[in-house]
Amino acid sequence: MKPIQVGLLGIGTVGSGVFNVLQRNQEEIRRRAGRGIEIAMVADLDVERARKVVGEGVQVVSDARAVIANPEIDIVIELIGGYGIAKALVLEAIAAGKHVVTANKALLAVHGTEIFAAASAKGVMVAFEAAVAGGIPIIKALREGLTANRIQWLAGIINGTTNFILSEMRDKGLDFAVVLKEAQRLGYAETDPTFDIEGVDAAHKATIMSAIAFGIPVQFDKAYVEGITQLSATDIKYAEQLGYRIKLLGITKRVDKGIELRVHPSLVPSKRLIANVEGAMNAVVVQGDAVGATLYYGKGAGSEPTASAVIADLVDITRLHTVDPLNRVPHLAFQPHTLDQAMSELPVLPMSEVVTSYYLRLRVADQAGVLAKVTGILAGAGISIDAVLQREADEVGGEGSTQTDLIILTHDTREGTMNDAIAQMQQLPTVLASITRIRKEELN
């Protein structure tokens, strides 16, 4: 049987990994897919560089639309990234009857509903395993492996850059700005790291996983997003002393009122496996009602790990290429035409309605009665205290210091209630700096 013909848009780090892994493992892949998979055409603005990667026998062009227009091409891989031209090209490929494989989490998180609807109408597949957590097959696990389960929640370390930074801050006791520069020097962080350190990249991925886990549309605009730029080495140290580690988590959870979708730094008990995921590695915990907790761990980025996921999608499409579209695995796990209307309309809750527990650090005057006033405000708001830690003034500000740190761990409370309590505590004359608040996730 003739190999299935693939067109590749963009042959940078991931694209070259896809080409190399496909070449190296072509016989193994052919045996698994049932026929060969062949990259027949590549589009890249740097034609000369692309030719050096693919060698002879592969047509290289500068115009991506020439790949889409080629009637011999069955599958288009989009590895350009971003929301702009990538969206246009994906929709044009679908309109031309091509299946699409993409690693573009930003595109799917923002425009996924439109793209999946277009693909369903045309009877083609859009595969995106590489869009979330690199080489970890989390999309396939959620969409297929866990189909018997009612997913209750998932929480993931899904951005390697921020996890590397937090690991270094903890290990070396350094502040964020210092470690960010080191991460950039080592190539873990981009020159402009905004999408990573502000939590946007993780929120794109969490949005996609939430849609698959709960059968809701992709709704990136409803996600709560908070990055790691305000974290200090002091809080990482205190968290460690209390038996926790701080991780940037993407969290989505099914609750009575709807769906939580949030990305923010979280204290996680150090005994949890996910708390011990270090460096640039990724991990996702999924809690299902039948299976319990499952953990998926591995490289979340890089040329060949991401290529692994892209090629897995190519194999899936090759296997299902001739299958009736209604008998394929749905893009977002739930069959659109049988989707329970109430489920699909479950709202994504505003952050003020989310219930979780908290770590609070207050820089306060070292005098009698301060703790009583603070705990009085929390009690008045109905917020229960789990633990209190007060540092010696000398330890915080040096010998003769007149201020100290007060650390409070709370039990679960509504975010809006905590916001009001923090505003009241901030007004106390004995509270000398902005109060630090980090959410705490037990992940039981």
Helix residue ranges, H only, 354-442 = 370-380, 393-397, 415-426
Query: Which domain covers residue 118, as residue numbers?
Result: 4-136+304-340
Strand pairing class (355-365; 413-414) = antiparallel
114 domain residue, yes or no: yes
Report the catalytic residues: 205
How many C-beta atoms lie closer than 10 Å to residue 402's C-beta?
10
The per-residue pLDDT string of the chain (444 residues; one tens digit each, 9 = 90 and over) reads 899 999 999 999 999 999 999 999 999 999 999 999 999 999 999 999 999 999 988 999 999 999 999 999 999 999 999 988 999 999 999 999 999 999 999 999 999 999 999 999 999 999 999 999 999 999 999 999 999 999 999 999 999 999 999 999 999 999 999 999 999 998 889 999 999 999 999 999 999 999 999 999 999 999 999 999 999 999 999 999 999 999 999 999 999 999 999 999 999 999 999 999 999 999 999 999 999 999 999 999 899 999 999 999 999 999 988 777 777 887 777 777 544 444 467 899 999 999 999 999 999 998 899 999 999 999 999 999 999 988 776 666 666 678 899 999 999 999 999 999 999 999 999 999 999 999 999 998
Does 46 share its domain with 183?
A: no
Number of H helices, E strands in the chain: 17, 17
Domain harbouring 190, CATH code:
3.30.360.10
392 domain residue, yes or no: yes
190 annotated as a binding-site residue: yes
Enter the pTM of the model.
0.94
Backbone angles phi, psi at 431, to 5 degrees: -95, 115
Which helix or strand (DSSP H or E) is residue 385 part of?
A: strand 385-390
Does 186 share its domain with 124?
A: no
Q: What is the per-residue pLDDT for 341?
A: 47
Residue 252 · residue 259 · CB < 8 Å = yes
Q: In the chain, how many domains are there? A: 3
Residue 160 CA to residue 43 CA, distance in Å, equals 29
Q: What is the per-residue pLDDT for 391?
A: 79
Does 146 share its domain with 295?
A: yes
Does 377 share its domain with 248?
A: no
How many C-beta atoms lie closer than 10 Å to residue 433's C-beta?
12
443 annotated as a binding-site residue: no
Q: Which amino acid is at 107?
A: L
Domain harbouring 101, CATH code:
3.40.50.720
Does 55 share its domain with 124?
A: yes
348 domain residue, yes or no: no
Residue 217 CA to residue 188 CA, distance in Å, equals 32
Does 100 share its domain with 162?
A: no
102-127, pLDDT tens digit by residue?
Answer: 999 999 999 999 999 999 999 999 99
270 annotated as a binding-site residue: no
Backbone angle region of 35, left / alpha / beta, with phi > 0 → left and psi within -120 to 50 → alpha? beta
Does 276 share its domain with 160?
A: yes
Residue 93 · residue 100 · CB < 8 Å = yes
345 domain residue, yes or no: no
260 annotated as a binding-site residue: no
300 annotated as a binding-site residue: no
- What's the distance, CA 201 to chain centroid? 6
Q: What is the per-residue pLDDT for 335?
A: 74
Residue 127 CA to residue 334 CA, distance in Å, equals 15
45-96, pLDDT tens digit by residue?
Answer: 999 999 999 998 899 999 999 999 999 999 999 999 998 899 999 999 999 9
13 annotated as a binding-site residue: yes
101 annotated as a binding-site residue: no
Domain harbouring 369, CATH code:
3.30.70.260
Q: What is the per-residue pLDDT for 330?
A: 79
15 annotated as a binding-site residue: yes
Does 143 share its domain with 271?
A: yes
Does 115 share its domain with 151?
A: no
Q: Which residue has the tokens 């659109």?
A: 336
Does 158 share its domain with 265?
A: yes
- What's the distance, CA 60 to chain centroid? 33
350 domain residue, yes or no: no
Q: What is the per-residue pLDDT for 440?
A: 98
Residue 347 CA to residue 258 CA, distance in Å, equals 5
346 domain residue, yes or no: no
10 annotated as a binding-site residue: yes
Cβ neighbours of residue 439 closer than 8 Å, sequence gap 6 or more: 264, 265, 266, 267, 356, 357, 358, 359
Q: What is the per-residue pLDDT for 322?
A: 75
132 domain residue, yes or no: yes
Does 332 share its domain with 243?
A: no
How many C-beta atoms lie closer than 10 Å to residue 27's C-beta?
9
Q: What is the per-residue pLDDT for 398?
A: 66
74 domain residue, yes or no: yes
Does 117 share its domain with 144?
A: no
